[in-house]
Amino acid sequence: MTLQMHELLSSGRLCYATELGAQLCGDSLEVLAQLPANSVDLFVTSPPFPLLRKKAYGNEDQELYVAWLAQFAKLARDALKPTGSLVIDIGGAYQKGRPVRSLHQFRALLTFVDDLNFRLAEEFYWYNPAKLPSPIEWVNKKKIRAKDAVNTVWWLSKTDDPKAHVGRVRVPYSDSMKRLLKDPEKYYKPKRRHSEHDIGKAFSKDNGGALPPNLLSISNSQSNDEYLRTLKLLQRPGHPARFPMKLPSFFIEMLTDPGDLVVDFFSGSNTTGKAADSLGREWLSIERDEVYCALSAIRFLAGQPVQDIERNVRRIEQGGSLSLVTGDGRIW
């Protein structure tokens, strides 16, 4: 961790730290208020959604949601570098007792832009093919609404020109494009447009993948990932609303460089911190629930005997902290 990150530890309890980052347990508003101005390259987070029924992870009331969330966004904006970004995943919900959608994610966006002076760099949509039908009343029982399988992900920036490298997050070519690249003359006949631009040359060059669309198809059915497998062995419940690793990784790769600082102020199971660590970025994760903080250490303890993982999780739960060496899983 850098000296700057060590200074933040007074704002929350340190649960564990790697060479690149730290997981704090505490009030995100208090920790965010301590972040120096112009110090963060990227915030990636998924706040608790304003669902109709209270969840274990503490979702907020629909009517109060936007004002509650704006507090965090305001502090995040103050801490962002001029080239920095805030990426926030907000799922949809229905209004209470009605088959009518809430507009909370759109009201939040307007508040971020109109009141907090963010720019909407681009809207993304995360399509989760594995998302379960909900609410049951309208989808399963009465069958009057389709399954909601898309979350809105707002990419917000402090200025008009945030750091971005879209070429770093290219997606695999389609089968037809692969055939074209293998034998351009067989599958494509170059045509010259009225502008005299030869599009044949552009389509025959292998750039290592296609540029990504703003629809991200990422399944969140990771029932067999190492984090969940270990939780099962420990007979512990996991966080019920987890990011798939590919989602924060996409934005971290696109919007930051190695060594940049990535912050998640609703870290849950700390998928963002793990993704940032794996990609060589400094990171800071903040979560108010002590149990979720302790269990998130499992992501950094891969390869350890189960009894050692259990012992170290309990150490965090009892008020201690871990210092982890990335790469070999040793604890020191």
- The catalytic site residues sit at 46-47, 89
Distances (CA, A) of 12 to 22, 23, 34, 81, 243: 11, 9, 10, 23, 23
DSSP assignment, residue 331?
B
Helix (H, G, I), strand (E, B) or coil at 161: coil
Rounded to whole angstroms, how far apart are CA atoms 263 and 141? 41
Rounded to whole angstroms, how far apart are CA atoms 204 and 185? 9
Q: Is the peptide bond before 48 cis (omega within 30 degrees of 0)?
A: no
In terms of DSSP bridges, do strands 215-217 and 119-127 run parallel, antiparallel, or are they unpaired?
Answer: parallel
Report the Cα 66 to chain-centroid distance in Å: 19
